[in-house]
A and B are shown apart, each in its own frame.
Chain A
Amino acid sequence: MSKLIIRYLAFSVITFFILLSCNKSSQTPSGIVRFDVQHKANGSTLELNKLIYTNAAGNQYMVTEVQWFVSKVKLQKSDGSTFVLKNGEPIYFDTGIPATLSQSFDKVPAGSYTGISFIFGLDETQNKSLRFTNPPESFMFWPDYLGGGYHYMKLNGKWLNVNGLIEPFNFHLGIGQIYDTIAPKSAWVNMNDCCKSARHCEGYQPPQKTMPITGFVQNYFEVSLPLAFTIEENKTQSLNLQMNIEQWFKEPHIYDHNHWGGSIMQQQAAMKAGCDNGHNVFTLSIPR
């Protein structure tokens, strides 16, 4: 009999503690942050497939689609601490998939914040081949031979070239390569240096057109966007994250499609210019 009572007692004490701890965790008040992503050109909403824009180099251009990743998104609290969204996982945006352009994240601690920061693209700890096997993210894969992982961004479009023809461009950013410019064309790629990110690409040889690759460049960069906002308990705070397309081609480098041509995945200098310009591409605001 007494045994039973003790059991009963133990049970209720334990239950009490469990309830207590539950209470405690739900007491940390949290809210939801929603990112509404907008693509803009020269201050107004980007109109796809229309040859109506002119970049800093004077190229008339249109955009057909924009697909991109940010990762390690951090919300900065006024007290100096940070809250990392989605455990730092990459987040994907796509002009062709409306659902990606408005994404909510819950369990954000309530309080006042001073801004956000993120990595544009994926850094070396995250940019691993086959980490995404499902579309649409998997369609962003960056070939292992070129460094592996994923495109940070595909910004596709067309521009009016010097000959007056409308030519396609693929402004694709990702891991860059260092080519051995003085090696004879017949030289083979050093297998150890090539494609460290994926085991299955040992043994590659370069295609005849490209020079041997001796190393890779991580082109991702960090963006900080100051903005005062508050997360209130159980409420949604939306933030407008804006990509200003013209900025990709503007500062500090004037990016001329006639100079770089339609494809840049194997032109580190072009990707470097693009990524340098990327620091000024984003703005963050509270919707009115």
Chain B
Amino acid sequence: MCLLYQYPAEVKLFQVAALSLIILFSGCKDNPTDYWKPTPYQLSIPFGFPTKLNIPDDNPLTVEGIELGRYLFYDGRLTGRTHPDSLMSCATCHIQANGFEAGINHPRFQGGFVHGITGIPTRHIMLPLVNLVWNHSGYGWNGFIWPDNPNINLRNIEDFVRVAVMAEDEMSADTTRVKQIFQQLKGYPELFYKAFGSDKITFRNIERAIAQFVRTLISANSRFDKYLRGEVQLNPSELRGFVLFTTEEGADCFHCHGGGGNPLFTTHLFYNNGKDTVFDNLHDRYYITGNPLHTGAFKAPSLRNIAVTAPYMHDGRFSSLDEVIDFYSTGVKYSSYIDPLMHHVLRGGVRLTPSQKNDLKAFLNTLTDLDFLINPAFARPEKFPDQQ
């Protein structure tokens, strides 16, 4: 009550402030060139998704930043070279139709095993670029880039951009050359100005723009999402598969890969899921943490769009979902490093019948999000800025 009476005074003050702001802004409006103001981009949180986002304070999402990031993501000149044989972009390996993995049908990389521009194979196979804005625990199969990393140069997707551009097994580029090339391409400096307030291109701003674009790659409209929102019903086989997925006496996948209560379909955490008895991959989770218990552990990837992201596992050892399901069913191997959540290990796995395997696969297929795979906002731009 009392507050109500006091309000008018404040409102008046507010009006004056607002008025002066309006005057201030309208003054600038006539003269847009010396007033830089990017448009904030609001991510909407899909049903059931976490509200906490991994967006660094110094790189908020803006419409202009994302637009620029999309061009750069798809522009083969990101190698710092312009000869047609020396082009490679993020999208050379990260292909939208394959959940932003290379895919087993890739024209250049046989079986989906990618290599860098100079032919050096990557350490691990691909990871999808999907819903990464919700990953707080580490990017890469072993999580070598994470927010609290004491090494401030390996903390977020911005840093992943630099790693991808410079790595010998990826673009093998020189960052100075890269920024020089884009500086000279008509149209780009202007887009950098719109996004970051300066048309002098820095590699930092290249990182920022691409990271912004990658953060918008959100998949939340699979058949399963629609089911979760109560919009469609799954068929009996898919439902049985869902039950198998989320029951310990079924296929027991949910502790690591999520489900109805965790629609990311990953915890973004690292586990040894019992594929081997000897662990000789030098770049496992142990390589990052130095904790011997993490030997042979890798990130449990999101199972969204899993049907289109073969081959599977960090080394691509399985080329179909059937092989993956057979592995979890009877191929699980015992070692002292196996995660306790793989508690079926002494029986070799969860032992599914052939019809249960079919049901489980039917369920995994409901995680394919066609809208995401063909969303024009994520697709290759028709023309690059210098071609317009």
Contacts and interface: CB of A to CB of B under 8 A. Distances in A.
Contacts of B229: 200
A204 B243 CA distance: 7
Interface residues of A, number: 51
A265 interface: yes
A158 B340 CA distance: 7
A162 to B, nearest CB: 11
Nearest to B47: A130
Interface in A47-91: 49, 64
A205 B243 contact: yes
A199 interface: yes
Given A200-B229, A206-B243, A168 B50 contact: no
B342 A135 contact: no
B260 interface: yes
B348 interface: no
Interface residues of B, number: 52
B21 interface: no
Contacts of A170: 248, 255, 340-341, 343
Given A134-B51, A168-B345, A143 B247 contact: yes
Contact of B346 (A10, A142, A165): A165
B84 interface: no
A209 B250 CA distance: 7
A112 interface: no
Contact of B233 (A138, A142, A144, A203): A203
A168 B342 contact: yes
A187 interface: no
Interface in B187-246: 227-230, 233-234, 236, 239-240, 242-244, 246
Interface string A138-169: 11011111100010000011100100011111
Contact of A156 (B48, B254, B340, B345): B340
Interface string A161-197: 1000111111010000000000000000000000000
Interface of B: 2-3, 5-6, 9, 48-52, 136, 227-230, 233-234, 236, 239-240, 242-244, 246-250, 252, 254-255, 259-262, 267, 293, 334, 336, 338-346, 353, 355-356, 359
Given A14-B5, A49-B293, A207-B244, 6 more contacts: A135-B50, A199-B230, A207-B250, A208-B240, A209-B249, A210-B249
11 contacts: A18-B6, A134-B50, A135-B136, A135-B267, A143-B246, A143-B247, A168-B340, A170-B340, A206-B243, A208-B240, A262-B344
Interface of A: 10-11, 14-15, 17-18, 21, 49, 64, 129-130, 133-135, 138-139, 141-146, 150, 156-158, 161, 165-170, 172, 198-201, 203-210, 262-266
